[in-house]
Structures are given as C-alpha cells and as structure tokens.
Chains A and B, each alone.
Chain A
C-alpha cells in the first residue's frame, strides 16, 4: 500500500490544473437539458478535445491519451476542482466508446471513435422501452433484416441526451421468435434518419433532457450492428458494466459537492440543526470513502483484476451519497431552497442538483435491481423471479 503520488503523477496533475484553470468557463454553463445549454456543453466538449482532454483514458490511436486509471483519477480530481461542466459526451466516453473498442470491427472503430473523441458526434442511449425499464430483457422494438439493412420499428423512451444528440445506440429484437435475452442485436443509428420521430420528454425540473424515439420502418445499414446479430444482450451487459462500474461517476464530482456543502454550512450553519451538521460531516466522509474505494478498485484493475458485480456496490453508494448531500443542502437553505434563483440572481444549483440526484438511484439499473445483484451474485442468496 503506497498512498503517495509519483513525481510523474504530480507533474501530470500540475499540467491538468494549468489547462483547466485557463480553460474552464468562469461562469457555470446553463443546464445541459435545454437547447442553449446543450450547445454550450457541446462547445465545451470541442474545447476539451482541442487540448486533447476529451477522452483521456482512450488509447492514443482513437484520439485519447492512453492514461492509466490513477492518472484518470487525477484528471477527474482536477476537472472537478476547477468546476468543469457536466460532460455532454458522457455516453460516448464511458459507454459506447469502450464498447466499440471491445466489440467493434476495425472499420467501426475508425468510423465512430475519432468523431466521438473530437466531440463532433454526440451519442444518446436508447435502452428503455415503455414496457422494458429495469427489466431490459422485455424489449420489443424490432429490427427486421432486409438485404443489407435492418428495418427498425418500435419505441424507445427515457433516452438520455436524445432530445438533442446526433446518434443513438441500443438493442433491438432481430429474431421475432425470440424471448427475453436471446435474439437481441446491438445497433447504432443516426437519430436524424428518415422514419425516426423524436419527442423530447419534459423532465422533473421542467427542462427536456431525455426523449422518446419512435421508429417507423427506419432503414439502418447492417454494418451499424455491433458484435453480430443476436449478441445484443451480452454487449449491452458489458456496456452496462462500464456504466455502473468504475467510470460513470468519478469521486472528484462528489468531493467537490461535499466541499461546497461545507462552505454552505459555514454560511447557513448558525440556523441549522445538529443533525444537519452531522450530515455535512458525513458527506465529507462518504465522498472520501468513495474516493478511497475507487483508488483501491483502480489499483486492482491496473494489476490485472476485474470489476464484476462489485460495480453494483458503487452505483448504490454514489447515488445515495449524492441524494443525501443535496437533501442536506436543501435543509441548510431553509426557505430559500425552493427559489430557482437567489435574490442576487444566482441560479440555485442545489435545487437543480437535488432534483437531478433523484434520478441517480433510478437510472443505470435501479438501486433495487443493484441490491438484488449484490444479494445474489456477491452474497450468494437464492434467485427469485424470471431469469
């Protein structure tokens, strides 16, 4: 156990810090969940790409820096220290990018990865359907083979980023006779293809971030299929593993929130309850614990280990931590918690953050599903229900 940084790691931190201090927008961007905010976040992605900071963990050949996981953690710490914006490109960086690297053909890698790294094409997820949320194997949208195309008909919903994104990815039923996990295929599609209707969904906060996608005989070339027909479930599980696993939520984000919460307490603590004071300290402790655990898992992976069902522990921990921290902030703000903007004109980011934090325990596999996974795969308790 060596919990000190090498001189090379320290130098790297200094390099990231200098670039972030010079480039991170001084004022927070408008929320990603509206046209104006989306555009400014995409512009930020391109700025990051111009400094080659867009996809730091990707191999250099695909437009990344080939950083190891400890360097990635350092990068993320400095990103959030500087108050870096949320990533419009998140689906590409952490979900589709690694999936294409693992399952894609050389042609697919060359075609999709570099524009993703440059922030030129922003990707939406299209997993859920009205009848397939936590139970993703209930997917019904069909992709019927017709020569060198698939013809897609069906509906996806709650698709992250789909209100404004360029391309989407998801799994579709290519074998009409199949049930559950079989007969599904992972397909990439241009959201502006003829036959796709996108209907942005107004979210809890009133803005539009995710969307419904209606497919009416949409023709998608067969070469947009990843890893072969019928392999969709295992590819999707690998993708979901990336999402729940190490990289979806880096610790820096929560350590930054915990620090802001401490500052909020210094401002409002004189009228707070003792329980709120303890909650603030707990936030610091839990954010630190999450960071230590991430370093431990990163060290394990760098030494050749793997992350499996442990990813479910992570997902529960960060999503509940985020909700707890924002709930505490709302308590500290008292009557002002309901205001969308404070008297001085500043956006109430705690309110926005609280609302957003309520999605954490739901998306990327609800925390109930995660607790089942922990109970069954880590603790070895008996399974129930449909498989």
Chain B
C-alpha cells in the first residue's frame, strides 16, 4: 500500500508541465483564438515529447505506459488549457483501441499523423472530428455533429470521463493560481484585495475542494488501469468531485477578478470555459450520480470503513 506517484511519474509530469508552461502560455491561447484554433507546430512538439505514443504499446513504437501516467499528463494539459486534441487521441482513443485488441496502425498515432476522435452515444457531438460544426462556449474547442450511430461502449465512456476529470484537476489548479495572483496585486481600500478575509475564505474553500478531489481522480485512474470490478463507480466519483471543484473554483475565480473577470481581456476565461465544457462531457452530473446511486444504494458496492479500497 503506497498512495504516492513514483519519482519517474512525477518527473514525467513535471517535464510536460515545464514544456507547456514555456511554449503554451496565455499569449498562445490568444493567438490560436484569432488564428484558427490549431497549430501543427504545437502538435509536433507534443509528438516529439512522445506524448501521442504514451499509451501505445512498445511493439508499435510507443512508450507503453498506463492510465495513471496518462491522467497525470491530462492534468497538465488542463493546467495549460491545451487546445490540441492530445487527450482525446492519445489518452482516450488509444487505450480504448488497445483494450479492444485493435492496436494495428497506432504507429501513425505515435508519429503524430493520425488523430482519433471517437463518437460516443453519451456525447451529442465529437471534439476535433469530422462533421457539421457546432460552436462551443470554449473558443478553442472544435465540435462537430456526426451522422450515424455512435457506440455506447462503457469502456470508452469511462476513459473519456476519467480523462475529463484529470483535465479538470489541472484547470482548477490553474484557475486558483490565477485568482490568487490577481488578489495579491489588485489593490482596493488601500490593500491587496487578497488580504480581505471575504476573498481568502472563498479561495481556501476552493483549495479544500480540489485537494480532496485529486486523490479520488488518481484512485479512479489506478482502478481503471488495473481493471478493477468497481472501476466505473470510481470514475464517476472522480468526474463528480473534479466537476464540483471546477465549478466552484471557476465561479470564485471570476468573483475574485471582479469586473476584470467579466472581460475577454483576462486570461481566466479560457480556463473557465474549458471547465464548463468538460463538466458536461462524457457524462454529466446526473449520469454519474446515477451510477454511484446504483452501486451504493443498490448495494452492489461494498461500503464502510473496511472497504476503502474494495
């Protein structure tokens, strides 16, 4: 029993964080917002870091890592508000295909030449896929309506929900940091607004919400990676906890920014809108509550102090 990431996992996440912080700052988001949302050079950078092949088996030229590593990297993608479809392709699409024994052709994903945008019946539209365009509140999200039947495969849904939760973790961290930094420099009534307890306590509540959502997300990643029988419940728990922390933090962060928060000029809106988009993607609150309801009140899941990990 050891509820920690390994040093290798932490080093990997840190290198991705540093890379995105250096190459994918708010000024990049602004440029993409006016110049077409996607940039082959950014994608190429992710490919060169090996991230498109993170979950591709080594036999197909990938790194052969697991969902725990992918969830950690997805959180970094959220933190940077990454617009490129790395998470959908590499951390949802790839593991789903590998799980179905359809690993052929994944070399092209490793090389960055193939992107995977999977439709699922729970999502009315698909991100970064072919079809009639639909406009999202998130200006960097490319949605499309697709014709034909979509799968309702539960494994795909669990991967999508888990990786959305992981991105929300990073989005919350970033929004909280932005709000705190703004509260330190914005002065009113002769002091930084962050010195007022009215703001401090709201920001502290966001801290509590996200710090107790994180271990739920990591636990879900571990359960799904191990193929635990109860993995679906833990994924739903993770999606709910991360979504609730994200909605709270987004609303708090805009409040802390005051009128500036209501402008298009402040960076915050990119992160806030991504959080709103992911909150309802891959199963909304009602859907995930219903799954927990079935397991907990329905009695299928063993509960109580002796069942922390069972």
Contact = CB atoms under 8 A, between A and B. Distances in A.
B215 interface: yes
Interface string B197-208: 101110111011
A255 B303 contact: yes
B129 to A, nearest CB: 32
Interface residues of B, number: 50
B237 A374 contact: no
Contacts of B292: 281, 284-285
Contacts of B51: none
A379 B207 contact: yes
Interface in A355-378: 368, 370-372, 374-376, 378
Contact of B1 (A6, A288, A378, A379): A6
A136 interface: no
Given A281-B297, A285-B241, A292-B215, A3 B1 contact: yes
B268 interface: no
A277 interface: yes
Interface in A248-294: 251-253, 255-256, 258-259, 262, 265-266, 269, 277-278, 280-281, 284-286, 288-293
Given A295-B308, A313-B207, 11 more contacts: A78-B305, A251-B305, A256-B304, A262-B296, A284-B296, A290-B212, A317-B212, A371-B204, A375-B203, A375-B204, A379-B207
Interface in A1-57: 1-6, 9, 13, 17
A253 B289 CA distance: 24
- Binding site secondary structure of chain B: helix
Interface string A54-72: 0000000000000000100
A386 interface: no
Central interface residue in B1, B5, B216, by most chain A CB within 10 Å: B1
B309 interface: yes
A285 B292 CA distance: 9
B93 to A, nearest CB: 24
Interface stretch (B136-144, B145-153, B163-171, B188-196): B188-196
A295 B218 CA distance: 12
A253 B184 CA distance: 39
Given A289-B213, A296-B3, A368-B201, A1 B68 contact: yes
B240 interface: yes
Interface of B: 1-6, 9, 68, 176, 180, 183-184, 191-192, 194-197, 199-201, 203-205, 207-208, 211-213, 215-216, 218-219, 222-223, 237, 240-241, 289, 292-293, 296-297, 303-309
Contact of A1 (B5, B194, B207, B303): B5
Nearest to A70: B1
Contacts of A370: 204
Given A265-B297, A372-B200, A381-B200, A77 B305 contact: yes
